[in-house]
Amino acid sequence: MKCEHCTRKECSKKTKTEDQENASVDIPSLAQENGEKGEFHKLADAKIFLSDCLACDSCVTAEEGLQVSQQNAKDFFRVLNLNKKCDTSQHKVLVVSVCPQSLPYFAAKFRLSVTDASRRLCGFLKSLGVHYVFDTTIAADFSILESQKEFVRRYQQHSKEEPALPMLTSACPGWVRYAERVLGHPVTPHLCTAKSPQQIMGSLVKDYFARRQNLSPDKIFHVTVAPCYDKKLEALREDFPMASHGSRGADCVLTSGEIVQMMEQSDLAVKDAAVDTLFGGLKEEEVRRHDGASSDGYLAHVFRHAAKQLFDEDVGEVTYRTLRNKDFQEVTLEKNGEVLLRFAAAYGFRNIQNVVLKLKKGRFPYHFVEVLACPGGCLNGRGQAQTEDGRADKALLRQMEGIYADVPVRLPETSAHVQELYQEWLDGADSPRVQEALHTMYQGPGLPAVSRDIKW
């Protein structure tokens, strides 16, 4: 399968052999084991194509491809079945964290409100044997807040001799993988060091939550439900604090489409359930999102914060101006005819290509760019909203965008739980633990020159 963005004939990397790709996985029915009616039919193994993300054959090693292919429903059910059969000392606490951009897909598929869809999904997962279901919005709160602080710091330190700007967002794993493995310097120094919501959620679950439950991190099997396949690659990063002890932040990533396939093939009796929180018996009563049309809205949040902190300007609604296409938009802060801040959102590979070329030529006018690999943003992740022939389901995507727009916005600064966690978990917002838990470093390509010298 050739990438729709790429002109290279050799860009047809698959994480599996042709025989493996055509194979499917027989998932044992937990309901049948309990004497109930129900059967899960064949579910496809995880696959990553360049058209799914920016992780091309220059980015994924054979070992990583194998590890990614093992992150599928079969692995998830393996742990569920072990919890029913093995010695209790070998049981795992099963935790599932759901990205907010996945919920509109479930709502559209099952014709429910986004809150009811969240409760239906939670009930289904718990009927399988999952112990806790969390919303990753709180992890995105941390990521956005740290991105805000980092931008202000970079702006104040920026100079022609030591350029700290533009700052490029780092929440999209496809973009980050491409920047690290293919582009390298001079792009990687501009990547925001704040970890992505999935990475931070891994730390929250395997560190903070594990301590509250008196569990070692390896006793928790943490699954993330996400809209794109690249989250599977992100789970392989080694910068999780517990990685040296054999525990990853996310043990398995399943796409929204993989979960829907399970739900559609299940005859289990499902009772809706409220989503759990990291704080004991408290439950999530209503779904909240951040201020982005199809993503977590880093641009809007960082823009408002920077305008206030740097220029004492209060910004209400952020006004976007579409430039070369609908996936490249600009936002500016102007005063007395002078542009104080110039931000951009660049979604999809063609726009990313233009950003990189201008950055390398030193003709880049922006202070900040929100970069996402998928055209249309996270809602259009290739792990959901696809037709049977693998194309974007435009009608479904429009429906999902409407559903997402109706979800109430919650500003990260207003979350009392986040402020509590800064103190209780990280010993304060400016402590050394913040850097370890919420920030990362980026590697260079480390690949043969032939792999990096891509002619687009």
pLDDT in tens, 21-78: 333 334 444 444 433 434 444 555 544 443 444 445 456 666 666 666 667 788 899 9
- As given in the structure block, the two tokens for residue 107 are 């709502």
Residues 167 and 130 in one domain: no
Residue 339 neighbours by CB distance under 10 Å: 11
Task: Look at residue 235 in the predicted model and tell me its pLDDT.
Answer: 87
Task: Look at residue 450 in the predicted model and tell me its pLDDT.
Answer: 30
State the pTM of this model: 0.85
- As given in the structure block, the two tokens for residue 171 are 């929440």
Residues 181 and 224 in one domain: no
Task: Look at residue 181 in the predicted model and tell me its pLDDT.
Answer: 84
> pLDDT band at 14, cuts 50/70/90?
very low
Residues 105 and 210 in one domain: yes
Residues 240 and 119 in one domain: yes
CB 128 within 8 A of CB 273: no
Residue 386 inside a domain? The answer is: yes
- As given in the structure block, the two tokens for residue 286 are 């209503």
> pLDDT band at 245, cuts 50/70/90?
low
Instruction: Give the domain extent around 254.
Output: 45-137+197-265
Task: Look at residue 58 in the predicted model and tell me its pLDDT.
Answer: 53
What is the percentage of the chain residues whose pLDDT exceeds 70?
Answer: 79
Task: Look at residue 239 in the predicted model and tell me its pLDDT.
Answer: 63
Residues 362 and 306 in one domain: yes
pLDDT tens digits, 119-139:
999 999 999 999 999 999 999
Task: Look at residue 305 in the predicted model and tell me its pLDDT.
Answer: 97
Residue 180 makes CB contacts below 8 A (sequence gap 6+) with: 188, 442, 443, 444, 445
Residues 330 and 395 in one domain: yes
Task: Look at residue 356 in the predicted model and tell me its pLDDT.
Answer: 92
Residue 5 inside a domain? The answer is: no
* Domain termination residue (choose one: 212, 230, 265): 265
Residue 182 inside a domain? The answer is: yes
Residues 98 and 205 in one domain: yes
Residue 59 inside a domain? The answer is: yes
- As given in the structure block, the two tokens for residue 455 are 């002619």
Task: Look at residue 241 in the predicted model and tell me its pLDDT.
Answer: 57
Selection from 161, 404, 427, 170 nearest residue 287 by Cα: 404
Q: How far apart are CA 311 and CA 318, in angstroms?
A: 16
Find the largest Cα–Cα distance for the chain.
73
Q: Evaluate if residue 244 carries a pLDDT over 70.
A: no
Residues 230 and 369 in one domain: no
Task: Look at residue 285 in the predicted model and tell me its pLDDT.
Answer: 72
Residue 273 inside a domain? The answer is: no
Task: Look at residue 167 in the predicted model and tell me its pLDDT.
Answer: 97
* Residue 262 CB-half CA count within 13 A: 26
> pLDDT band at 88, cuts 50/70/90?
confident
* Lowest mean pLDDT, pick from 76-90, 236-250, 397-411, 426-440: 236-250
pLDDT tens digits, 280-338:
767 777 889 988 888 889 999 999 999 999 999 999 899 999 998 999 999 999 999 99
Q: What is the mean pLDDT of residues 85-98?
A: 88
Task: Look at residue 61 in the predicted model and tell me its pLDDT.
Answer: 65
Identify the CATH number of the domain in which residue 157 sits: 3.40.950.10
Residues 98 and 241 in one domain: yes
Residue 159 makes CB contacts below 8 A (sequence gap 6+) with: none
> pLDDT band at 115, cuts 50/70/90?
very high
Residue 33 inside a domain? The answer is: no
Residues 241 and 314 in one domain: no
Q: How far apart are CA 54 and CA 325, in angstroms?
A: 20
Residue 455 inside a domain? The answer is: no
Identify the CATH number of the domain in which residue 259 sits: 3.40.50.1780
Residues 210 and 333 in one domain: no
Q: What is the mean pLDDT of residues 412-439?
A: 94
Q: Rounded to the nearest 5°, which phi and psi values hold at 420?
A: -65, -40
Q: How far apart are CA 228 and CA 209, in angstroms?
A: 25
Task: Look at residue 205 in the predicted model and tell me its pLDDT.
Answer: 96
Task: Look at residue 2 in the predicted model and tell me its pLDDT.
Answer: 35
Instruction: Determine the distance from the C-alpha atom of residue 143 to the mean position of all C-alpha atoms in its chain, rounded to a whole number.
Output: 11
> pLDDT band at 13, cuts 50/70/90?
very low
Residue 14 inside a domain? The answer is: no
Residues 95 and 203 in one domain: yes
Domain count, the chain: 2
